[in-house]
Amino acid sequence: MITGKINVIEGDITQLSVDAIVNAANTSLLGGGGVDGAIHCAAGPGLLAECRGLNGCETGDAKITQGYNLPADWVIHTVGPVWRDGNHGEDALLASCYYRSLELAKQNNIRNIAFPAISTGAYGFPPERAARIAVGTVKQVLAEKTTIEQVIFVCFSKQSYNHHQQTVQEIITNK
Ligand code: ADP
């Protein structure tokens, strides 16, 4: 059953004791604002040092590092698309962020993983549309044979929480 594997919570992703948290990074992987800044701040300088050796990351792709001072063991850094008008491949690139992150999770035997709402902050992706892509892509991956036991959507506002909760109900629970 996929339903029991997906959770939506409101909170700060840096506080979670899970195998891996996902970072909504930028292509440099050298830190930024929003959730990226919060993750680097909580993880400490070891994270930035490891990121320096990764040579950046393309939009829609993901790279993995250790978690350093975070409660999470791993950080999966993915780069979401900057929203333009929806006609520049934004949907597919956002789906790819979730897909590639889960692929890396599987390769590293990660069993529980937490995602922020990628691209919905500074990158301006419409939040309800982003939630549908996030939940839909996770559903697709969990339907395949996978070692992943739990995916948590970590929402930073009540509104984001409601979008994700509603979307999970629409495309998972009520199916
Ligand atoms: P992007 O550049 O991909 O839009 P942002 O970090 O600006 O990335 O925002 C992505 C989402 O992460 C937004 O919904 C924002 O509210 C949320 N966010 C910011 N800080 C945290 C945090 N500490 N934990 C979880 N989510 C966060």
| From 12, 19, 36, 91, active-site residue | 36
CB 165 within 8 A of CB 174: no
CA 159 to chain centre: 18
**Ligand 1 atom 3, closest CA:** 119
Q: What is the pLDDT of residues 59-79, one digit of tens each?
A: 999 999 999 999 999 999 999
Mutate which of 14, 23, 35 for ligand 1 pocket (most atoms within 8 A of beta carbon)? 35
CB 67 within 8 A of CB 13: no
Ligand 1 binding residues, C-beta < 6 A: 12-14, 24, 34-36, 38, 80, 116-123, 154, 156, 160
Cα separation of 102 and 99, whole Å?
Answer: 5
Domains and CATH numbers, the chain: 6-173 (3.40.220.10)
Share of the chain above pLDDT 70, in %: 99
Burial of residue 61 (CB within 10 Å: 0-12, 13-18, 19+) is: middle
ipTM above 0.90 for this complex: yes
> How large is the average pLDDT for residues 38-59?
98
